[in-house]
């Protein structure tokens, strides 16, 4: 298979005894953008840190392009670029030197043309002779990405790439990730901004208390788990829903002018066409109709909360 990353039965118990990852299994295809969603403390950084060799797994296996991250640490690590969640960038060093040095750390021969391209792609070329401490926060984030890309990795990990970044910069970052994808880089990112996953990811994984509870194509996640809502603006107020029309999910507004019908995309309720026929039979006339599909945010909140009621 064309899996650039294979994670099998991965578990992590910290020395404190805390189980941060429980039997995680995940394959990532070459070139995909995978978003890992989860609340604070769910285990996102732990998972990334294990893959990047910063944290040792308790059991299980991680292969990066076929290389075991424990047994073949150096070769596996050289395929990975990491932009950590916590960035420390109070350096007197220049942008150019930092990125060039970072490439050298991986034993790659110098390649000024490549570094130039990376800095240009990240809109840092004008700042190449600036000391890092003189950069703005958003520029520092981009510098971290430039560093992570300096040794031409096949997989890029972005742990909360846009935490604390303003809305317009966040858009720039999304555009940048799309450029990187076009260049063939596989990207795994964690985020609290669900619209970020909605915007960028091909697939989404949801992690809850150390368990990967769901992995789905973004589009099928949204059709499978999303709810749809149909709203009908009525010509005349209805005193109530006629008893023959008492269908689960159908509600009338208090003023009687609006009917809303909420249904699962794959539920057992009746379809829209059938509902509209029934309305016509009862001479209920509407002047406007709208449909709405729930957002990834609503799906995510539902999933995470549904687990909260069931104990572990
Ligand atoms: N070195 C450590 N020793 C003990 N427990 C740890 C250690 N590092 C992390 N944990 C615990 O493991 C759990 C997962 O932490 P992790 O940093 O992976 O979460 P996260 O999903 O990245 O959260 P956030 O969204 O806040 O970044 C947390 O409960 C955390 O307290
Ligand atoms: Mg984290």
Per-residue pLDDT of the chain (312 residues; tens, 9 = 90+): 589 999 999 999 999 999 999 999 999 999 999 999 988 899 999 999 999 999 999 999 999 999 999 999 999 999 999 998 877 766 889 999 999 999 998 889 999 999 999 898 888 999 999 999 999 888 888 899 899 999 999 999 999 887 766 777 778 778 888 888 888 899 999 987 777 888 889 999 999 999 999 898 988 777 767 677 889 999 999 999 988 888 888 999 999 999 999 887 656 567 788 888 889 999 999 999 888 777 777 777 777 776 544 433
Q: Is the CB of 43 under 6 A from ligand 1?
A: yes
Give the helix ranges, DSSP H, for the chain. 44-51, 73-77, 95-105, 112-121, 137-149, 167-182, 194-200, 218-225, 272-281, 296-308
Ligand nearest to the CA of 43: 1
Measured in Å, residue 75 CA sits from the centre of ligand 1 at 27
Q: Which of 13, 18, 54, 164 to mutate to test the pocket of ligand 1 (most atoms within 8 A of CB)?
A: 18
Q: Is the CB of 84 under 6 A from ligand 1?
A: no
Query: So what's the pLDDT on residue 202?
Result: 94
- Does 227-293 match 3-79+154-223 at the fold level? no
Domain ranges of the chain: 3-79+154-223, 94-147, 227-293
**Residues 285 and 235 sit within 8 Å (Cβ to Cβ):** yes
Query: So what's the pLDDT on residue 53?
Result: 92
**Residues 151 and 108 sit within 8 Å (Cβ to Cβ):** yes
Query: CATH classification of 3-79+154-223 is 3.40.50.11540, yes or no?
Result: no
C-alpha 239/C-alpha 288 separation (Å) is 19
Ligand nearest to the CA of 191: 1
**Residues 50 and 10 sit within 8 Å (Cβ to Cβ):** yes
Q: Is the CB of 88 under 6 A from ligand 1?
A: no
The rounded Cα 100 to chain-centroid distance in angstroms is 30
Q: Whose CA is nearest to atom 17 of ligand 1?
A: 45
Strand partners, 9: none
| Topology (CATH) of 227-293 | Alpha-Beta Plaits (3.30.70)
Measured in Å, residue 259 CA sits from the centre of ligand 2 at 43
Q: How far is CA 257 from CA 37, 92, 293, in A?
A: 39, 66, 22
Measured in Å, residue 242 CA sits from the centre of ligand 2 at 52
Q: Which of 41, 162, 312 to mutate to test the pocket of ligand 1 (most atoms within 8 A of CB)?
A: 41
**Residues 91 and 98 sit within 8 Å (Cβ to Cβ):** yes
Q: 254: number of CA atoms within 13 Å, CB side?
A: 0
Q: Is the CB of 269 under 6 A from ligand 1?
A: no
Write the CB contacts of 279 (distance below 8 Å, at least 6 apart in sequence).
232, 245, 259, 286
At 112, list the tokens: 């000024």
Q: How far is CA 227 from CA 2, 217, 243, in A?
A: 33, 17, 24
């Amino acid at each position: 298979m064309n899996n650039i990353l294979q994670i099998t039965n991965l578990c992590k118990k910290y020395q404190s005894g805390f189980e941060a990852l429980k039997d995680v299994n995940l394959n990532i295809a070459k070139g995909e953008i995978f978003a890992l969603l989860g609340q604070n403390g769910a285990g996102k950084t732990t998972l990334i840190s294990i893959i990047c060799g910063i944290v040792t797994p308790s059991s299980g296996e991680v292969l990066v392009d076929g290389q075991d991250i424990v047994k073949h640490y150096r070769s596996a690590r050289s395929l990975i670029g990491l932009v950590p969640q916590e960035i420390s960038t109070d350096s007197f060093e220049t942008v150019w030197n930092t990125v060039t040095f970072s490439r050298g750390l991986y034993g790659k021969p110098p390649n000024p043309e490549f570094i130039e391209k990376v800095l240009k792609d990240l809109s840092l070329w004008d700042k190449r002779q600036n000391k890092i401490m003189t950069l703005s926060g958003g520029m520092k984030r981009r510098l971290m990405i430039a560093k992570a890309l300096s040794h031409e990795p096949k997989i890029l990990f972005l742990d909360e790439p846009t935490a604390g970044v303003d809305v317009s910069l966040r858009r720039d970052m999304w555009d940048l990730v799309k450029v990187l994808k076009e260049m063939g880089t596989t990207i795994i990112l964690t985020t609290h901004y669900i619209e970020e996953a909605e915007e960028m990811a091909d697939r989404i994984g949801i992690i809850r208390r150390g368990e990967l509870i769901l992995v789905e194509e973004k589009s099928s996640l949204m059709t499978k788990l999303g709810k749809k809502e149909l709203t009908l603006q009525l010509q005349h107020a209805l005193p109530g829903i006629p008893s023959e029309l008492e269908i689960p999910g159908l509600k009338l507004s208090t003023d009687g002018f609006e009917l809303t019908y909420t249904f699962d995309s794959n539920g057992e309720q009746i379809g829209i066409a059938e509902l509209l026929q029934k309305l016509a039979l009862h001479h209920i006339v509407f002047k406007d109709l709208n449909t709405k599909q729930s957002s990834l945010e609503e799906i995510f909140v539902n999933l995470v909360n549904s687990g909260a009621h069931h104990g572990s």
